Amino acid sequence: KNQVEQSPQSLIILEGKNCTLQCNYTVSPFSNLRWYKQDTGRGPVSLTIMTFSENTKSNGRYTATLDADTKQSSLHITASQLSDSASYICVVSRLSGGSYIPTFGRGTSLIVHP
Amino acid sequence: DAGVIQSPRHEVTEMGQEVTLRCKPISGHNSLFWYRQTMMRGLELLIYFNNNVPIDDSGMPEDRFSAKMPNASFSTLKIQPSEPRDSAVYFCASSNLPPSQQFFGPGTRLTVL
């Protein structure tokens, strides 16, 4: 069964601290993995996309890693800011019948306190 | 570009009524997606179109849900009849041919009483 599991479900950190969010998946055949940030009351916004051959990708203070062998990904946030408070969603897509079918994780809710 | 436009932003209706959600994708994008998001189930893909043609509708919950894309600049998601369990935020997203980045609209918050 194609599934994406994220941990932790929620996380509270102090401003300026680093944190790491986890994503494990069983989606097959793997096509790509995206991390989205969703602010409250808004639609998700893509942070990074990684394909099978990519191990690390950065977008500012956000760094995503991918281990295709163990089917794990992480999103590391450096020097957190109050504006990082949001839900972070891991999405893994598979190629099926010529179409890319996404499977969504439930997300990690991050709260950054001053 | 204004991004993906959805209307209405909020909809409150009574059980049994027909609900129509609307989406205008980003100009030039050839793929359009409809999603539903709830606290219990997270984000779920309902259906997606490529060049106005439905490609995968396996996520549509049941026959009460239908989606159309009559042209490249407009799509609708219809629920008839609506039920309280349909209450959710419905997002529309568009992109160039997948796996290009999807751009999400602001969502329609639907409440069925």
Say what the pLDDT of residue A101 is.
Answer: 81
Say what the pLDDT of residue B96 is.
Answer: 82
Say what the pLDDT of residue B1 is.
Answer: 64
d(CA A62, CA A60): 5
Q: How confident is the model over B7-20, as a mean pLDDT? A: 97
Q: Is A31 on the interface with B (CB under 8 A)?
A: yes
d(CA A22, CA A65): 10
**Model confidence band, residue B98 (pLDDT cutoffs 50, 70, 90):** low
Q: Which residues contact B109 (CB under 8 A, 6 or more apart)?
A: B9, B10, B11, B89
Q: How confident is the model over B5-25, as a mean pLDDT? A: 97
Q: Report chain A residues whose CB lies below 8 A from the CB of B102.
A: 46
Q: Tell me which of B111 and B57 has the higher pLDDT.
A: B111
- For residue A89, the one-letter residue type is I
Does residue A7 carry a pLDDT above 90?
yes
Tokens 């100009």 belong to residue: B27
Q: Is B91 on the interface with A (CB under 8 A)?
A: yes
Can you name the residues that pair with A65 across neighbouring β-strands? A56, A74
Tokens 């919950």 belong to residue: B61
Pick from A76-85, B14-23, B35-44, B54-63: least confident: B54-63
Q: Is B106 on the interface with A (CB under 8 A)?
A: yes
Does residue A16 carry a pLDDT above 80?
yes
Q: Collapse the DSSP code of A82 into the 3-class scheme (helix H, G, I; strand E, B; otherwise coil) and give the result.
A: helix
**Model confidence band, residue A95 (pLDDT cutoffs 50, 70, 90):** confident
- The shortest CB-CB distance from B56 to any of A49, A99, A105 is to A99
Query: Under an 8 A CB cutoff, do B45 and A101 touch?
Result: yes
Tokens 């809710």 belong to residue: A109
- The shortest CB-CB distance from A106 to any of B42, B56, B107 is to B42
- The shortest CB-CB distance from B98 to any of A41, A46, A100 is to A100
Q: Which residues contact B33 (CB under 8 A, 6 or more apart)?
A: B45, B47, B48, B49, B92, B93, B94, B95, B102
Q: Is A9 on the interface with B (CB under 8 A)?
A: no
The percent of residues above 70 in pLDDT, for chain B, comes to 97
Q: Report chain B residues whose CB lies below 8 A from the CB of A104.
A: 42-45
Query: Under an 8 A CB cutoff, do B99 and A89 touch?
Result: no
Query: Under an 8 A CB cutoff, do A104 and B105 touch?
Result: no
Say what the pLDDT of residue A46 is.
Answer: 92
Tokens 């990074």 belong to residue: A48
Q: Which residues contact A50 (CB under 8 A, 6 or more apart)?
A: A32, A33, A34, A57, A64, A66, A73
**Model confidence band, residue A53 (pLDDT cutoffs 50, 70, 90):** confident
- The shortest CB-CB distance from B43 to any of A46, A93, A104 is to A104
Of the segments A47-56, B5-14, B32-41, which one has the largest average pLDDT value? Answer: B5-14
DSSP designation for B84: G
Q: Is A93 on the interface with B (CB under 8 A)?
A: yes
Q: How confident is the model over A76-102, as a mean pLDDT? A: 90
